[in-house]
Amino acid sequence: MSMRGLVPPDPETDVSQAHYAVVYVPRRNRNRFPAGCVELVTSAQEALDRANRAAKRFPARVVGPSKSSEGQTIYYLLEWLE
């Protein structure tokens, strides 16, 4: 996993972790998302099952939550699931 452009997780806490998720995004060209666009799920299969390309909801692995420099809670993309 490349950490370039990511705020690294704090090794002393488990606040920011990798999660499976369904991400609402108009186009898959971003690598960070506001928390309101991310629905965390329990497994890769659940993310794939809940995805809906027509509704712009894509399955992914994300890491977070983290605070942006603007104070927003965000998640970073690790990978899109197919």
Q: What is the pLDDT of residues 1-37, one digit of tens each?
A: 444 555 555 455 556 789 999 999 998 888 999 999 9
Cis amide leading into 65 (omega within 30): yes
Task: Give the residue among 78, 34, 42, 46 at the shortest CA–CA distance from 60.
Answer: 78
pLDDT tens track for 30-59? 899 999 999 999 999 999 999 999 999 999
The 3-state DSSP class for residue 46 equals helix
Q: What are the domain boundaries of the chain?
A: 17-80
pLDDT, residue 5, reads 55
Question: What is the predicted pLDDT for the residue at 1?
Answer: 45
The model's pTM is 0.81
